[in-house]
């Protein structure tokens, strides 16, 4: 192999290595983009509850807020419902804590959600996100997705997928660490 060919091959190899490193660094950063709310101020959003009350992000300041995006047909949402019920039973009476379930992508509509809430004994506040505005504000791409906001309005923790009771307690603990 001539010297020129060797130098050329080395140059090509160097370019490939540099590109590989750049891509690897990008892959490593990817999870930050997937959600990436922790440590950032919670986005502003507004939803209307099943009781007809309008709730905005600003209304929730000063309390630990757990927001859970869900719907009635999503299997992981049904799987995590007992954990949410247990959490509500444990902390629901605390005036410094709010649990807000936001229903998204629900073809059955509000009437089906009302029936589900009554049948399953869901005791926390439930709101509809028919126009997906709240989902867009949070960058939600599926359900369930759960976020905990600290009293100062910073997102303390987030979870995509079904949460266990232990997950939820850890998420609340993160908010207390921020507050």
Partner 1 sequence: MRRWLPWTALVAVVAVAIGVAITRSEPSSDPEARARRLERELTCPVCTGESIAESNAPEARAIRADIRDRIAAGQSDAQIRQAYVDAYGERLVLKPGSDGIGLVAWGLPVVALVGGAAVIAVALRRWSAQPRLAASADDEDVVRHARVRGRA
Between residues 58 and 132, which has the closer beta carbon with respect to partner 1?
Answer: 132
Between residues 80 and 129, which has the closer beta carbon with respect to partner 1?
Answer: 129
Task: Find the shortest distance in angstroms from Cβ 135 to partner 1.
Answer: 7
Question: What does the alpha-carbon distance between residue 172 and residue 67 come to, in Å, rounded to a whole number?
Answer: 11
Question: What does the alpha-carbon distance between residue 33 and residue 139 come to, in Å, rounded to a whole number?
Answer: 10
Q: Do the Cβ atoms of 57 and 138 come closer than 8 Å?
A: no
Between residues 17 and 23, which has the closer beta carbon with respect to partner 1?
Answer: 23
* Burial 55-76, CB ≥16 within 10 A → b, else e: bebeebeebbbbbbbbbbebee
Task: Find the shortest distance in angstroms from Cβ 134 to partner 1.
Answer: 10
Between residues 21 and 173, which has the closer beta carbon with respect to partner 1?
Answer: 21
What separation in angstroms does the CA of 81 have from each of 112, 167, 179?
A: 16, 13, 27
Between residues 22 and 173, which has the closer beta carbon with respect to partner 1?
Answer: 22
The sign of the dihedral angle between the CA atoms of 67, 73, 77, 80 is: positive
State the helix-helix crossing angle for 75-91 and 165-178, rounded to 10 degrees.
60
Q: Which chain residues interact with partner 1 by CB under 8 A?
A: 19, 22-23, 25-26, 29, 32-34, 36, 43, 105, 131-133, 135-139, 141-142
Task: Find the shortest distance in angstroms from Cβ 152 to partner 1.
Answer: 19
Task: Find the shortest distance in angstroms from Cβ 88 to partner 1.
Answer: 27
Other C-beta atoms closer than 10 Å to the C-beta of 49 total: 15
Task: Find the shortest distance in angstroms from Cβ 24 to partner 1.
Answer: 11
């Amino acid at each position: 192999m001539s010297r020129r060919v060797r130098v050329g091959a080395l140059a090509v190899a160097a370019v490939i290595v540099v590109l590989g490193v750049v891509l690897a660094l990008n892959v490593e950063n990817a999870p930050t983009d997937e959600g990436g709310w922790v440590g950032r101020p919670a986005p502003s959003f507004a939803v209307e509850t099943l009781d007809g009350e309008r709730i905005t992000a600003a209304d929730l300041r000063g309390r630990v807020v757990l927001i859970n995006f869900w719907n009635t047909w999503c299997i992981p949402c049904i799987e995590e419902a007992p954990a949410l019920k247990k959490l509500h039973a444990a902390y629901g009476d605390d005036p410094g804590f709010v649990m807000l379930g936001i229903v998204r992508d629900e073809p059955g509509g509000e009437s089906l959600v009302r029936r589900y809430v009554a049948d399953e004994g869901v005791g926390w506040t439930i709101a509809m996100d028919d126009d997906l505005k709240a989902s867009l504000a949070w960058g939600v791409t599926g359900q369930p997705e759960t976020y905990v906001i600290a009293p100062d309005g910073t997102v303390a923790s987030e979870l995509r997928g079904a949460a266990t009771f232990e997950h939820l307690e850890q998420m609340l603990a993160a908010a207390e660490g921020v507050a």
